Amino acid sequence: MDALTLHRIHFAFTITFHYLFPQLTMGLALLIVAMKTVALRTQDVDQRERYDVAARFWARIFAINFVLGVVTGIPMEFQFGTNWSEFSRRTGGVIGQPLAMEGVFSFFLESAFLGLLLFGERRISRRLHWFASFMVFLGSWISGFFIIVTDAWMQHPVAYQQLPNGTYEVTSFWGLLMNPWAWLQYAHNMSGAVITGAFVVAATGALYMLQQKHQEFGRVFLKVGVVAGVISCIAQIFPTGDLHGKYMARHQPAAVAGMEGLFHSTPGAPIVLMGQPDVERQTIDNPLVVNKVLSFLIYGTTAAEVKGLDQFPQDQWPSALPLLFYSYHIMAGLGTYFAALMTTAGFLLWRGKLYNARWLLWPIMLSFPLPYVANTAGWMTAELGRQPWLVYGLMRTSEGYSKHVGPGTSLFTLLGFLGMYSLLSILWIVMVYTAIQKGPRAPVVDQGHDAHTLTTA
Amino acid sequence: MGTIWFWIVAAMLTIYVVLDGFDLGVGIVYLFVARDEQDRRKAMHAIGPVWDGNEVWLIAGGGTLFFAFPLLYASSFSGFYLPLTIVLWLLIVRGLSIELRAHTHDSVYKTLFDATFSFSSLVLAVFFGAALANVIRGVPLGPDNYFFLPLWTDWRTGPNPGILDWYTVLGGVLAGLALALHGLLYLALKAAGVLNTRSTMLAKRLLPIVAVITLASVPATVIARPASLEHYQQHGIAWLAPAMVVVSLATIAISLARGWEWRAFLGSCTYLASMLVGAAAGLYPVVLPSVGTAGRSITIDEALAGPHAVRVGLVWWAFGILLAIGYTVTVYWLFRGKVPEHAEGYGH
Ligand code: HDD
Ligand code: HEM
Ligand code: HEM
């Protein structure tokens, strides 16, 4: 394999792995705030106690994921320099800003208040403790924002100028932060993170109900998870996914054509629900289509013409076309399934029948890995759709990598990360599974009576 | 503007070394001074609430380096590819060891995580020292401002250096010992009982060694990079840094003899900071010196991002760093004082 391919796989693998953790922590952070709010506001002593214990339990799971997010996040920060040095040199004057802001504004905040959230409960007032959970939430969501601003600039560069030495610099700070692409992407991405959080919480609730243990918490988790799930699953499709898709069709038409597998421009374009793109013959095998829907989704009328790949020179086609097509279809397919599952569950919750509906508890419990799949597929869509550009329209991926780092070296570190991260995955699963099996009331292993450690169990 | 950013980045990395330095140092000496479970827990609890926040200074410093000096970030990070990646792996191992140790009851796993924690801390300290020595010595920059260093060549400085040569190894050893001392002084400050006496005793023995190697590093640096002396002669104020090094070493010695734990630790903080500032002063206005003839040294002006970028950066950075300092101080304040003796309610 050549150096470029290896650097791409290197980056893709490490960031995909990293994003497994923040998507849960960002989603959970919101749900923990919600649980703590209920506990703070309720007059009912039992309920207050239950929600306090629930919030504490999820804060422990949060902590495990947080540490993994931190140790896998640090390599990301360095990899721009190690593996994408030419990209960093040329665009550092723009994207260096949001990346540095992430560190300065959110990581300090998060690490400080997480300690308070985990161990401060007995030293500070209930209101202050609620505030700590809120600040942890804020920190993780700010962190997500700056990262998305970075990515959005690569997808849709704004507020920049080129200097005589060929590098780029930001020309308007607010222009960079107010990139419309960033806000659309942020809304969609954060809603996706809430889906992950909601599914994990609801699945744990379903597990407890099916196992008939910790049932008082099973009910709390199901309720919180399903309510958050209904809202976020709907928001994921409409308005966030829909708007994002429309905006993309205007600014990255080649990517949309690739996602939809549209080889030829067509008025009244059909949507392909399923099929296998054949790039050489430029067709979709075994297509399952609904006529005119694509034109309607993008332009609001059934007759509009949608640009196909034939409108673009072949060297501007997304380079991994079939993978792009599948990623997009997996995301959108799962999104439809999530919305159906969660609205059904929401309906039963409203009618008071959810806790005994074993036929529904099973799929809720088994579906918890799927949001991870959907979020990963979503990022694959975004990143593969951007190809062959590293910064859309400005810089090609083939120009950006570290030319002085040979393929052997890159393969060596890639293998190292593969090995290291396989171990991490095992540890992660064991730790989270043990915590869930022990249940919310399990005593904490090493709480350090006076909060002298950041770690929990 | 370039000078401001040079010192900002230098300051952030210095804060990183001073803060994370003591928890790395605790890791280095951990197996020797904390012999039983009770003491090991105490040592862990002394760094538990703060190590993650300390590490953020590295991330934030790295991010700031990226946006203020993109060329330097690109050139040095890709040039030091292998050692940096190894640093990342060690940071992963270390973070997990701390976390996992707190999770397990099993003494076999505890022994394992103790070992990985200590090992990764030691190697990290040595790597950081060697990295700094590499930057001081210079790297074989090409005409395109990039380079790629092999791990070692013939162990000599000169036009064809490796990441490891006699000078950078010396830097690594000095960093390992200096941070070990820093960690011991921190433990003495935070712990009472056996852990305290053992740390103090070891610190007393380590101090002369650190002092001797520090002294030796001065002629070594002049041999490895004669130009650093010129910078000192041009900016007389730079001599303050080595002067502070001597003063702080003396402070540590006196404080250790008198049992002033706070002053000893602050002395060690000053020592580390002055060493780093001294190194930075020797570089300025170069940020990455070149050895050999193919390329020229990278200077601040060449590496600096566009003028507008660094100007807006200053506004949000000043605001953000005040917040960050606020959080850091609050956390240290909340967890001030000695780690309590009887850690009741632990485990089981
Ligand atoms: C639970 C996760 C999840 C689900 C169910 C969906 N998405 Fe999504 N999608 C994401 C999670 C995600 C993501 C991980 O958050 C992405 C990757 C980049 C981004 O900003 O969001 C994304 C990207 C993404 C993109 C590409 C953006 C780009 O190139 O920058 C489009 C067009 C859509 N989404 C549209 C949809 C539609 C129409 C869905 C309807 C069913 C949908 N997504 C469901
Ligand atoms: C700030 C956020 C992100 C930035 C700045 C970013 C940047 C990059 C860069 C520089 C590359 C390498 C060049 C390329 O092949 O396109 C890349 C590729 C990739 N990234 Fe991202 N990325 C971000 C977020 C993510 C996330 C969260 C994921 C997945 C969960 C992801 C998935 C991928 C994948 C799959 C590739 C490989 C694309 C390919 O090989 O063609 N990215 N991204
Ligand atoms: C190239 C892209 C990325 C880089 C350079 C990066 C960098 C980092 C770093 C250094 C950390 C550790 C921070 C600490 O010590 O507290 C971290 C954690 C985190 N990252 Fe990333 N990251 C990237 C992609 C993403 C993406 C795409 C998201 C979400 C949209 C994200 C969200 C987070 C969050 C919320 C945390 C906090 C830790 C946690 O909650 O798990 N990151 N990241």
pLDDT digits (tens, 9 = 90+) for A341-352: 999 999 999 998
| Total beta-carbon pairs less than 8 A apart between chain A and chain B | 251
- Please give the share of chain A, as a percent, with pLDDT higher than 70: 97
pLDDT category of residue B344 using cuts at 50, 70 and 90: very low
Distance A303 CA to ligand 3 centre (A): 43
Instruction: Give the position of tokens 């609001």.
Output: A300
Could you tell me if the CB of A376 is within 6 A of ligand 2?
yes
- Rounded-to-integer distance, Cα A380 and Cα A372, Å: 12
In a mutational test of the A interface, the residue from B120, B310, B327, B329 whose CB has the highest number of chain A CBs within 10 Å is B327
Three-state secondary structure call for residue B141: coil
Once rounded to an integer, what is the mean pLDDT over residues A419-424? 93
In contact, B348 and B104? CB cutoff 8 Å: no
Task: Look at residue B341 in the predicted model and tell me its pLDDT.
Answer: 65
Is residue B342, in this structure, part of any structural domain at all? no
pLDDT digits (tens, 9 = 90+) for A102-161: 988 898 898 888 888 887 777 788 888 999 999 999 999 999 999 999 999 999 999 888
Alpha helices in A102-179 (DSSP H): 108-119, 126-155, 173-177
**Residue B105 CB-density burial (10 A; 0-12 exposed, 13-18 middle, 19+ buried):** exposed
Task: Look at residue A446 in the predicted model and tell me its pLDDT.
Answer: 47
pLDDT value at B79 more than 90: no
ipTM of the complex: 0.85
Is residue B344, in this structure, part of any structural domain at all? no
Neighbours of A443 (CB within 10 A): 10
- The dihedrals phi and psi of A301, each to the nearest 5 degrees, come to -130, 150
pLDDT digits (tens, 9 = 90+) for A42-91: 899 899 999 999 999 999 899 889 989 999 999 998 999 899 999 998 99
pLDDT category of residue B260 using cuts at 50, 70 and 90: confident
Neighbours of A16 (CB within 10 A): 16
Say if the Cβ atoms of A89 and B96 lie within 8 Å: no
Could you tell me if the CB of A334 is within 6 A of ligand 1?
yes
Evaluated on CA atoms A336, A338, A341, A345, the torsion sign reads negative
Report chain A's terminal Cα–Cα distance, integer Å: 43
Say if the Cβ atoms of B78 and A107 lie within 8 Å: no
In contact, A346 and A230? CB cutoff 8 Å: yes
What total of structural domains would you count in chain B?
1
- Rounded-to-integer distance, Cα B348 and Cα B40, Å: 17
Distance A376 CA to ligand 1 centre (A): 9
Task: Look at residue B345 in the predicted model and tell me its pLDDT.
Answer: 31
- Rounded-to-integer distance, Cα A225 and Cα B35, Å: 46
> How does B154-193 read in b/e, with b if 16+ C-beta sit within 10 Å?
eeebeeebbbbbebbbbbbbbbbbbbbbbbbbbbbbbbee
Helical packing angle, B2-33 and B193-224, nearest 10°:
130
Is residue B345, in this structure, part of any structural domain at all? no
- Rounded-to-integer distance, Cα A167 and Cα A94, Å: 9
Distance A383 CA to ligand 2 centre (A): 5
**Residue B205 CB-density burial (10 A; 0-12 exposed, 13-18 middle, 19+ buried):** exposed
Distance A70 CA to ligand 3 centre (A): 7
Per DSSP bridges, beta strands A395-396 and A305-306 are unpaired
- Look at B109 and A378; give whichever has higher pLDDT: A378
Instruction: Give the position of tokens 């960079």.
Output: A176
B339 CA to chain A: closest CA distance, Å? 7
In contact, A214 and A267? CB cutoff 8 Å: no
* Mean of the per-residue pLDDT values of chain A: 88
Instruction: For chain A, positions 395-434, list CB contacts with chain B under 8 A.
Output: 402-406, 409, 412-413, 416, 420, 424, 427, 431
A327 CB within 8 Å of a chain B CB: no
Max avg pLDDT among A409-413, B328-332, B342-346: A409-413
In contact, B103 and A457? CB cutoff 8 Å: yes
In a mutational test of the A interface, the residue from B19, B88, B190, B339 whose CB has the highest number of chain A CBs within 10 Å is B88
- Rounded-to-integer distance, Cα B309 and Cα B190, Å: 43
Residue B45 C-alpha from the chain's centroid? 21
Is residue B339, in this structure, part of any structural domain at all? no
pLDDT value at A455 more than 60: no
Token code pair at residue A30: 């919101």
- Rounded-to-integer distance, Cα A409 and Cα A6, Å: 10
Nearest residue to B33 (alpha-carbon basis) of B178, B236, B202? B202
Which of A109, A169, A446 minimises the CB distance to B306? A169
Nearest residue to B252 (alpha-carbon basis) of B270, B230, B267? B267
In contact, A244 and A190? CB cutoff 8 Å: no
- Rounded-to-integer distance, Cα A49 and Cα B90, Å: 41
Is residue B347, in this structure, part of any structural domain at all? no
In contact, A273 and A288? CB cutoff 8 Å: yes
- The dihedrals phi and psi of B187, each to the nearest 5 degrees, come to -65, -40
pLDDT value at A339 more than 50: yes
Three-state secondary structure call for residue B35: coil
Task: Look at residue A457 in the predicted model and tell me its pLDDT.
Answer: 31
Task: Look at residue B242 in the predicted model and tell me its pLDDT.
Answer: 84
pLDDT value at A210 more than 60: yes
Is residue B341, in this structure, part of any structural domain at all? no
pLDDT value at A452 more than 60: no
A168 CB within 8 Å of a chain B CB: yes
pLDDT category of residue A453 using cuts at 50, 70 and 90: very low
Domain span including residue B308: 2-334
Is residue B150, in this structure, part of any structural domain at all? yes
Is residue B178, in this structure, part of any structural domain at all? yes
Could you tell me if the CB of B91 is within 6 A of ligand 3?
no
pLDDT category of residue B294 using cuts at 50, 70 and 90: low
pLDDT value at A456 more than 60: no
Q: In this structure, which amino acid lies at residue A146?
A: F
pLDDT category of residue B264 using cuts at 50, 70 and 90: confident
Please give the model's pTM, rounded to 2 decimal places.
0.90
Could you tell me if the CB of A110 is within 6 A of ligand 3?
yes
- Rounded-to-integer distance, Cα A278 and Cα A256, Å: 17
Token code pair at residue A12: 């893709």
